[in-house]
A and B are shown apart, each in its own frame.
Chain A
Amino acid sequence: KQEVTQIPAALSVPEGENLVLNCSFTDSAIYNLQWFRQDPGKGLTSLLLIQSSQREQTSGRLNASLDKSSGRSTLYIAASQPGDSATYLCAVRGNYGQNFVFGPGTRLSVLP
């Protein structure tokens, strides 16, 4: 059974810092991995989808990398801003399933 963990559980940084969020999964037989952002009491906003054949994906200040064999993905946020404050979730989809298995999230606070 796939298990997804995220480290750290919470992170507080000053504005302008570059930061890395980590996601680990136990079963490397994945089809793809998606990073989401969740604001308090709100839905999930898709940030990046990275296929198992890809090493990384970029969107603006965000860069997601994937090392399938070691069961890890990282989300790099460059030049963080207070508006980046949210919970970041990673979700992994197995080779034969349609559903995602979610991690518990990293709660990010960017201080002005």
Chain B
Amino acid sequence: EPEVTQTPSHQVTQMGQEVILRCVPISNHLYFYWYRQILGQKVEFLVSFYNNEISEKSEIFDDQFSVERPDGSNFTLKIRSTKLEDSAMYFCASSERRLYEQYFGPGTRLTVT
């Protein structure tokens, strides 16, 4: 069964460093999403992406974040200058169409020290 994959599974970085989290969505899906979950808290929406542009973003998704689909398969989330409070599990998701069921990847645990 097709699935969303994410790499790395765990990333440790120092405060102020840039990180790139990678996702490979399900191949025939057109809509892509990033969510995050701080330990012990709710899953929160960050951004949705369609047709090579951001279609919706939350107030969390400020100028330090960016997303890109550099080729036909990868979807990336870049955090420019990490802060301690960026430590969280980051989930990528994809859906075939807008408002369709979303399928989530296993997540990348980001630890900022």
Contacts and interface: CB of A to CB of B under 8 A. Distances in A.
Nearest to B6: A43
B104 interface: yes
Interface residues on B, range: 20 to 34
Nearest to A51: B99
A28 interface: no
B103 A101 contact: no
B106 A100 contact: no
Contacts of B91: 43-44
B45 A104 contact: no
A34 interface: yes
Contacts of B41: 104
A91 interface: yes
Interface centre among B31, B45, B56, B101 (most CB of A within 10 A): B45
Interface in B53-86: 55-56, 58
Interface of A: 31-32, 34, 36, 41-46, 49, 89, 91, 93, 97-105
